[in-house]
């Protein structure tokens, strides 16, 4: 018998509140990040784009910034610890790893593009970052805030602010 939806929601909420994003080499598992972001949006009753769409927007953003990235900062690898329950994350049994230094360059543009391109939010003021996340989207806000905090922790505040498009006061 499967768990009740309320129990699953509480478990996912606890996961979001405690998740770690980067491995010991400073790499982010992009597929997992996209699936979890979609789940956060869904649980917040927000429009929830397909994880593949989130992933493709990131790849396009990385491609546009390729002159500023090192080749080793983005790589694909076979999922060595494969189990059938991982198919939702890795349908092709491959994972994409993105180094935190690459993310400091592309994150603000990527998350802005998610709002514009996948969710259809107008950005007439050309605001950077996650301007489109609504205040009531608690899981989404928590997930992205935790990610950004960890990115700042591993990359350093100066590098993140410099590449985010945000201007210090």
Q: Give the global pTM.
A: 0.86
Residue 39 lies in a domain: yes
Q: 90: Cβ–Cβ under 8 A, 6 or more apart, which residues?
A: 31, 79, 82
Residue 139's pLDDT is 93
Instruction: Specify if 93 maps to a domain.
Output: yes
Asked whether residue 169 is domain-assigned, the answer is no
pLDDT of residue 159: 58
Residues of the chain with pLDDT under 70: 1-5, 157-169
Q: Which domain holds residue 105?
A: 5-164
Contacts of 106 (CB under 8 A, 6+ apart): 58, 61, 62, 65
Q: How many domains does the chain divide into?
A: 1
Residue 74 located in a structural domain: yes
């Amino acid at each position: 018998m499967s768990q009740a939806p309320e129990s699953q929601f509480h478990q996912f909420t606890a996961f979001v509140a405690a998740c770690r994003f980067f491995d010991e080499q400073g790499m982010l598992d992009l597929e997992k990040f996209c699936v979890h972001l979609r789940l956060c949006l869904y649980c917040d009753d927000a429009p929830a784009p397909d994880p593949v769409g989130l992933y493709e927007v990131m790849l396009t953003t990385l491609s546009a910034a390729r002159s500023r990235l090192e080749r080793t900062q983005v790589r694909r690898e076979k999922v060595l610890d494969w189990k059938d329950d991982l198919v939702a994350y890795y349908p092709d049994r491959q994972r994409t790893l993105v180094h935190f230094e690459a993310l400091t360059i592309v994150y603000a543009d990527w998350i802005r593009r998610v709002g514009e391109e996948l969710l259809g939010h107008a950005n007439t003021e050309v605001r950077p970052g996650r301007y489109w996340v609504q205040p009531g989207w608690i899981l989404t806000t928590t997930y992205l805030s935790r990610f950004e905090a960890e990115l700042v922790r591993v990359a350093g505040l100066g590098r993140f602010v410099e590449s985010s498009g945000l201007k210090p006061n």
